[in-house]
Each structure stands twice: as structure tokens, then as C-alpha cells.
Chains A and B, each alone.
Chain A
Amino acid sequence: MNAPLVDTSVSQRLGIVDCDIHPTQRSVADLFPYLSEHWREHSKSIGPHIRQGLAAMQAYPRMMAAGQRADAYPAHGGPPGSDLDLMRRQHLDPAGVETGMLVALSKGGMEERNPDYATALAHAVNDWQLHDWVRKEPRLRAGVVVPQEDPAFAAREIRERSLEPAFRQVILSPRSIEPLGRRRYWPIYEAAAECGLTLGLHPAANGANPSTGGGWPTYYMQEHYAFGTNMQSNLVSMVFEGVFERFPRLKVALIESGFTWIPAMCWRMDRHWARMRHEVPHLKRPPSEYIREHVWFATQPIEEPENAAHLPEIIDWIGWDRLLFSTDYPHWDYDDPKYCIRFRMTEQQRSQLFRDNARALYGLT
């Protein structure tokens, strides 16, 4: 137990893999080179119709700089995450990022209600990630954005993008119309598993249904907490509906949803399964085994118990090979790799958490 508690030299000694970086368009015009004339005109004259009224606003006003790190606004204008040079200077270089996994939210079509516009946007955002980010910055990798309520198109997009090694995963929103275990989404899982692409689930700001089982929350603090409970419902759905039994090669990364709840949820599911499994005879093993085998968890926003030493005890239950380090740059709840891990680890655990697990999961070299 002689490992240092807060190791500020970590990023110098160990290149890290950051599993949650958000690139943003300066405006929808950044996508125009990748949209047809029709959809360019649609973007200009009609605009988005995401699943909420007042589409240009956030569903919940956020306490900090519209949900961003207040120091991440580019000096020459545009939103945080829209300037590659600032991202390099403020994050990739000082944090020692060896590989950064892009998660392109917002205009990617995951929240767009117009189905044809959603497919056009998703395709354009994938081109934009490739040409405006990954080809300019070799440390970055893209995530295939798909309009998940159109699984047939999504599956085609996944197969097409999988031919380009810059794309290392498929991004889905857990704010789907139905729980993600439902069979309507299986063509997406079939394509991802076939192409060897991990499925990355990342919370979205808007969705088809209320963000909590109890309805629409009042405050942003409740909305932020709901990232975790929303992910739990979808993971339970995927397990019990038999997704992992049907797609044994499917790998799932839960991003920005916490991880301390995993052991308790698994204990509960296993107990239910032991007593009531005749309802789900397609499950051949205790639910926790599917999670242990198929699911990875990104760290940010890392839970901060009063006694930080409780966290490694929980990770012992989950498995040190299943955590992925993430920062959420440039959002307000960014975790700095030099300071956010406040518990002791062995050198091996440190390498796994900051780098090796992500390298293995995403096939990074």
C-alpha cells in the first residue's frame, strides 16, 4: 500500500485513454459540406425538431455556463468543444491523452424526430467527425452516431463506417422510445457485434420519455442524477430481454452514468433470477454474469464518497478490468485525471483504469 494518493505525474508517465470527449459544431453550418442541398436548406429554413418544445433551449437550465466548463469557450467564439486547437491545448496535451474517444451529441440525429433529417444528420456528423477531427488529430477516434429509432438505416451506417478504422464504437442514447433491450433495436446490436464495434451508451439531454420512471423532474440536479437510473433501466432491459444471449459477441460501454450501483443491482437481479427465471427461460446464466462479461463502465462523473477508500472496494466487486477512464471534456463536470482519483491503486490497476482496459475494449494500438 505504498502507492501515492494523488499522483500528479500520472499523465507524464502513463498516456491515458479518455473515453468521453465531446466535439461540437460551431453551428449547423459545419455540417453543410456533408449534407445534401435539400437538408442544407432544411437546416437553414426549418431547423431541428428534437423531442421537446423550444428546440433551441436546454430542457433543464444548467448551473454552469450552459452545462460547459466556463473556461472552455474559444476566444474567437463558438461553443466549447468546437475548437480543436483549444482542445489540444486545454485538454489533450496537459492531461496526457494518448487516445480520445469522441462522443458527438446533439446534432447527430439521436434526438431528431424527423426520421429522414435524422438519418441525414447522423451520416453528416459521422463524415464531420472523420474529416474535421480524426484526420486532423491522430489521437482521436470517432463513434458512429446513428438514428436509433430507424434501426435498418442505423445498421447500414454501422456496417459502412466499420470499414474505416477511425470509428471504434457505436453511440446510442438511453433516452430511446422503448427500453433498449426491445427487439426493435436488435438490428443495431447485430451490426455492431458483427463489425466488432462496442456499443457506447451515453446520456442525452432530451428524449422521447420522461427521464425518470416517476415523470419529469423539476431541477437539473434531479435530471443529472437520472443519467444513472436511466442507464440502470436500460441495462436491466438488455439483460432480461436476452440481448447478450442472442449476441454473445456484443460489448457495451456505459458512459457518464456512474458505476457504484452495479454490484447492488447485480445482487438484486441474481436473486430475482434464482426465484423467477421461468419467466425468462432464454437466460441461461445469472444476470450478473452477462454484465460481468459484456459491460464496461466509464468513470466520469466519478462518485465522491466522504471516504474515497470505499471506491476501490466497490471496484473489486465490479472488476478492475471493466473500468474506463473518462473526462467528459468540455462539460462542466469534467474529471481531471491528475486529481479526480483519490484512492490508492497498484501500478497494474492504475494502468488498467487509465489506459489498458480501453485499449483492449476498443482495439486501440
Chain B
Amino acid sequence: MSKKRHVVAAVDEVPPGSRKHLNLAGREIALFNLGGEFFALGDKCPHESGSLCAGKIVGLAEADTPGHYRLSRDGEFVKCPWHGWEFDIRTGQSWCDPTRTRARAYETAVAAGETLVKGPYVADTYPVRVEENYIVIDV
């Protein structure tokens, strides 16, 4: 089945550090703005299907040896609101079980309103204005 381009939000609507819940073609999707870049994950934790969109944005607590702690990659992970599984917002990869567990990741892009209105992909559910930029996802 071919993918369809969905216009999901104006760029300004999802500022850095925030997230937005989407339902595209029957799929629940969590959209995140990580430092100005947009990433989309399936809104279902692969463990027991908690909503990642309701999770906290966190960094990694690390220690080389007991008593020496540091926080790294602050704001780059989302933590499932149920059991606390952490996923890399960029890739959907699980931090605690990276080889077997991964949240579904979707491609996102930012497109100018002008191209969307003119181009082959006409937004079906979202009003698009020529002068703004929009977040788009192919599902």
C-alpha cells in the first residue's frame, strides 16, 4: 500500500521540548520536537503498549563507578508513563534493551506551505497557508 503524506501541524505549534499526539490513517503517533528537529514514534510502548506521548522527556543517568553520577543527553529520551522504559526520541531505540526492543519510528519532514498547496500532496485534514512551514509525515 502506498504511503500518503499527512500535514500534521504548523511548525510553531510544536515548540522545542514539546510533543503532540496524532492519529494518522488509524495509527497512533507521538510527534516530538527535539531542539528544533521533529521526530515521530508509534505511540505504543513495545513492552505493554503504554502511550509514549504521555511520557516524561528525560536524559540518561550514568555512572562509571558507584558514587560518581552524571546526566548525559538531557531531553533526548522519552520514558514510558507505565514501566519507565526509555526510548531514544531520534530512533525509537530502547536504551535498556536496544537489540530486541524498538518503538516504531516514522519519517518526518518540514515543508513550506507553498510546496504543499501547489504540490501533489494536498493536506486532507489540516488547513495549510502558503506563507508558513509545516511538519509532514508519510504513513
Residues of A near any B CB (own CB < 8 A): 63-65, 69-71, 332-336, 338-340
Contacts and interface: CB of A to CB of B under 8 A. Distances in A.
Contacts, number: 37
B18 interface: no
A230 to B, nearest CB: 22
B4 to A, nearest CB: 25
Interface centre among B56, B79, B83 (most CB of A within 10 A): B83
B82 A69 contact: yes
A336 B49 contact: yes
A70 B56 CA distance: 9
Contacts of B49: 336, 338-339
Nearest to A68: B81
B51 interface: yes
A71 B52 CA distance: 10
A136 to B, nearest CB: 26
Given A70-B55, A70-B56, A71-B54, A64 B81 contact: yes
Contacts of A338: 49
B51 A71 contact: yes
B48 interface: yes
B50 interface: yes
Residues of B contacting A: mostly: loop
B17 interface: no
B43 to A, nearest CB: 11
A338 B79 CA distance: 21
29 contacts: A63-B84, A64-B79, A64-B81, A64-B82, A64-B84, A65-B81, A69-B50, A69-B81, A69-B82, A70-B54, A70-B55, A70-B56, A70-B82, A71-B50, A71-B51, A71-B81, A71-B82, A332-B82, A332-B83, A333-B82, A333-B83, A334-B48, A334-B82, A335-B48, A336-B48, A336-B50, A338-B49, A339-B48, A340-B48
Contacts of A63: 84
Q: Which 3 A-B pairs have the closest CB atoms?
A: A70-B81, A71-B54, A339-B48
A340 B50 CA distance: 12
A340 B82 CA distance: 13
B78 to A, nearest CB: 11
Contacts of A332: 82-84
Nearest to A330: B82
A351 B6 CA distance: 43
B86 to A, nearest CB: 11
A65 B49 CA distance: 18
